[in-house]
Amino acid sequence: MKISTLLDTDSILINLQAGNKEELISELVNNLKNKVSLEDLPVIKQAVLEREQVMSTGVGKNLAIPHAKIPGIQDNLAVFARLKQPLEYGSIDNQPVEIVFLLVGGQEKASVHIKLLSKISRLMNNDNFRNQLLQADSKEEILNIFIEEETASA
């Protein structure tokens, strides 16, 4: 599965503003409102926040990958955000985050969820790729950067 297939222009946020980690996660989860039932949104938010309490998903290089497995969710869902201003996130390298990739999946598909997390990490470990995402002017451009990178590395 390609990361780019989880994204569309509605699930890409540019210049997102948030005052703290919880606000940021709320914004990302709320973006899923057209893909899950409204009753699922608070469950997803709670699961992502609980995962953050175990260990920050701020993985370094100004990137966070908040994620959770949710009972009853069938598909893997994603939201990509580029923040307007770097946000303190409790990252492992003590640096604020600028790029955030929310991944939510069903508990029944845990192995796919783990593979997707690994793919996101590999993609984002590429400095040139991250810089392209930071410089992109539009949601369409960001989506195309994901598609091109995944096609080139396939």
Looking at residue 88, its pLDDT comes to 97
Query: For position 22, which CATH number holds?
Result: 3.40.930.10
Range of the domain at 98: 3-149
Q: Is residue 71 part of a domain?
A: yes
Q: Is residue 154 part of a domain?
A: no
Q: Is residue 134 part of a domain?
A: yes
DSSP, residue by residue, 21-33: HHHHHHHHHHGGG
Q: Is residue 83 part of a domain?
A: yes
Residues of the chain predicted below pLDDT 50: none
As for how many domains the chain has, the answer is 1
Q: Is residue 96 part of a domain?
A: yes
Looking at residue 16, its pLDDT comes to 97
Which has the closest alpha carbon to 29: 75, 81, 90? 81
Contact 41, 29 (CB under 8 A): yes
Looking at residue 68, its pLDDT comes to 94
CA-CA distance, 59 to 74, in Å (whole number)?
26
SS3 label, residue 96: coil
Backbone φ and ψ for 51, nearest 5 degrees, come out as -65, -40
**Beta-sheet pairing, 77-87 with 67-70:** unpaired
Looking at residue 23, its pLDDT comes to 97
What spatial distance separates the first Cα and last Cα of the chain, rounded to whole Å?
Answer: 11
